[in-house]
Chains A and B, each alone.
Chain A
Amino acid sequence: MNYVVLTIFFLLSALTLGSGIMVVTVKNIIHAALWLISTFVGVAALYMLMEAEFLAIVQVLVYAGAVSILVLFAIMLTRQITGTGTRQLHSRWWVAMLTAAALFGGVIVPTVWQQGSSWDKTASDAQAILVQQATEANGGTRPEIIPVAGTEELGAALMGEYLLPFEVVSLLLTAALIGAILIAFEERTRRRRVLTLAEELALRKRGIVEPHDEEGAVVPVDAEQAV
């Protein structure tokens, strides 16, 4: 048995779980977001240990680098909500706990059930099993493309077996973008129309002075009046 890798595994798991616990326990919401990033990085390191390098990189690129920024910007969008007075738990926290436990069980039990005999295998063992399964499914000859192992196989799988999910993802992403813009702009029109910097410049270039109030601040044009 290899104690070095095992030690690294336990260290990384401790980092990931510890940060996860910090996320839900710290009072300061920005600190919680920062701990969340630490959790993401820990998970990426665990993926790396499992030799799933593309997944590890994507975990850092998308979660630690992009989603975390989205979360932090969303926090900044709100008024100040940090404070020691903020309550950490809802009064029906046990419902949430039961749901979480049920979901976790729902994932882990079938996995252990099905993979129970092979869960002490290494990544290269797993690949050998995949090759064997694919060969059997192909009627004895080794097929050209073996299911997901590296980036290249992933690309080939996306273009073959998982084509429909792949295209649906693009629809989903577009829908998310359009939906967010709609919501954000509904909010904005309800407040007031503010000239963009470019519009202000265009006005100034045409020699039209912007409307000012007594203190010299630019008075924004009301959107409802414009409608």
Chain B
Amino acid sequence: MLSTYAFIGIFTVAAITFPLLPLIISAIIRPNRPSEVKLSTYECGLEAIGEIWVQFKVQYYLYALAFVIFDIETVFLYPWAVAYGQLGLFALIEMGIFLMILTVGLVYAWKKGALEWI
């Protein structure tokens, strides 16, 4: 079993090296002639005004929150799905209840307009 993880580990090292390699090669062979205009922030030719850190709307956060909640729900569903073939009617009903309770959350968010993009 450990050999599988060793492979994944080696692959991880390779996956980190893979994007670095062309970046390093290109850093060696490309020209480098910076100028002030070239290095300025792109803003369609205008001077950039103010900070970039504008306050983002709450909608983004609500989506992220709904994402985390449904992500956790899905994580709970996976072990159930793997074991389901060996389990019985009980598992089906229990998962039905689990999904029901979470659907209530979805319906609430929907009704309340939290899924609406403004």
- Using a CB–CB cutoff of 8 Å, the interface residues on chain A facing chain B are 5, 8, 45, 48-49, 51, 53-54, 58, 61-62, 65-67, 69-70, 73-74, 76-80, 82, 151-156, 158-159, 163, 166-167, 169-171, 173-174, 176-178, 180-181, 184-185, 187-188, 194-198
Q: Are B62 and A181 neighbours in the complex by a CB distance under 8 Å?
A: yes
Residues of the B chain whose Cβ atoms lie less than 8 Å from the Cβ of A77 = 55-58, 60-61
Which of B80, B112, B114 is in CB contact (< 8 Å) with A159? B80
Q: Are B112 and A174 neighbours in the complex by a CB distance under 8 Å?
A: no
**Interface code B74-97, partner A: CB below 8 Å = 1, 0 otherwise?**
011011111110110011001001
Which of B57, B61, B76, B108 is in CB contact (< 8 Å) with A178? B108
Which of B19-27, B29-37, B39-47, B64-72 is found at the contact surface with chain A?
B64-72
Residues of the A chain whose Cβ atoms lie less than 8 Å from the Cβ of B8 = 48
Quote the shortest CB–CB distance from A179 to chain B (angstroms): 10
B53 part of interface (Cβ distance < 8 Å): yes
B109 part of interface (Cβ distance < 8 Å): yes
Quote the shortest CB–CB distance from A47 to chain B (angstroms): 10
Q: Are B64 and A176 neighbours in the complex by a CB distance under 8 Å?
A: no
| Dominant SS among interface residues on chain B | helix
Q: Are B9 and A8 neighbours in the complex by a CB distance under 8 Å?
A: yes
A184 to B113, CA, bound (A): 11
Residues of the A chain whose Cβ atoms lie less than 8 Å from the Cβ of B56 = 73, 76-77
Pairs of residues from A and B, 6 with the lowest C-beta to C-beta distance, nearest first = A155-B83, A155-B79, A174-B105, A154-B79, A177-B105, A170-B101
Q: Which residue of A lies closest to B109 (CB)?
A: A181
Q: List 6 A-B contacts (CB under 8 A).
A: A67-B68, A77-B57, A159-B91, A174-B104, A177-B109, A184-B62
Quote the shortest CB–CB distance from B87 to chain A (angstroms): 6
Assuming A80-B53, A156-B83, A181-B112, what are 19 further A-B pairs, CB within 8 angstroms?
A48-B5, A66-B71, A70-B65, A73-B64, A76-B53, A152-B79, A154-B79, A155-B80, A156-B86, A158-B80, A170-B73, A170-B101, A174-B101, A177-B69, A178-B108, A181-B109, A184-B58, A185-B114, A188-B58
Interface centre among A181, A187, A195 (most CB of B within 10 A): A181
Interface size on B, residues (CB 8 A): 51
Residues of the B chain whose Cβ atoms lie less than 8 Å from the Cβ of A188 = 58
- Using a CB–CB cutoff of 8 Å, the interface residues on chain B facing chain A are 1-2, 5, 8-9, 51, 53, 55-58, 60-62, 64-69, 71-73, 75-76, 78-84, 86-87, 90-91, 94, 97-98, 101-102, 104-105, 108-109, 112-114, 116-118
Quote the shortest CB–CB distance from B30 to chain A (angstroms): 27
Quote the shortest CB–CB distance from A86 to chain B (angstroms): 14
Residues of the A chain whose Cβ atoms lie less than 8 Å from the Cβ of B72 = 62, 66, 169, 173
